[in-house]
Amino acid sequence: MAKIAPSLLSADFTRLGEEVKEIESVGTEILHIDIMDGHFVPNLTFGYSMVKALRPVSDMIYDVHLMMTNPLSYIENFAKAGSDIITVHTECDDDINKCLDLIHKCGVKAGLSVKPKTSPDALFPYLDKLEHILVMTVEPGFGGQSMMTECLDKIAVIKAECASRGLNIPVMIDGGVNADNVQTAARAGADMMVAGNAVFGAKDRAAAFKTLSEGANL
């Protein structure tokens, strides 16, 4: 069953604790938390202290996406802060194997992401170490962008490679998910879909989340 993961990037930053509680109340199981360093992407967001502060607020899975040039130095702190999944990018400057090994050493599930212009083949050397794959369907850095639907083609390529190795790794997409394209993403094989403005920006968040969740599973 495909899951919708609301993105905290689209929440009201002045009341994050309340926002997390509200979004959990509508049935959310996974909260996507974008961490941006101002270098890997041209934006700054949260730090591990924020994740730590929000951890007692909810029992949701905290899916922490490190959009960072050098994530290796921060993985342990984000793990201690309460992350359930930590995802790094194939395009980062640190050694990917060291990043994934450290995530596992910290007792957290490891994810790896590719940006829109990166071939899915970049993931293949690391598949045996992954519990999570993230395909960006926008250029990372800012919410509110339109989905680059051509990126959905990567999902089938990734799943075929996983199947050839006897692996079953869930694939999440991130970027531009809304009620108009959620079925397209689901048909492309997405197991999880990050939705920011489509949920947090809705007047009726419960209805928006329900519409997306139903669309993802038609």
Residue 167: which residues within 8 A CB-CB, separation 6 or more? 127, 128
User: In terms of DSSP H, where are the helices of 45-152?
Assistant: 48-54, 75-81, 96-105
Three-state secondary-structure class, residue 144: coil
Among residues 34, 37, 63, 191, which one is catalytic?
34
Tell me if residue 174 is catalytic: yes
Residue 125's Cα: distance from chain center in Å?
20
Among residues 84, 174, 180, 191, which one is catalytic?
174
Residue 116's Cα: distance from chain center in Å?
14
E strands, the chain, in order? 3-6, 30-36, 61-67, 85-89, 109-114, 132-136, 171-174, 192-195
Catalytic sites, residue numbers:
34, 174
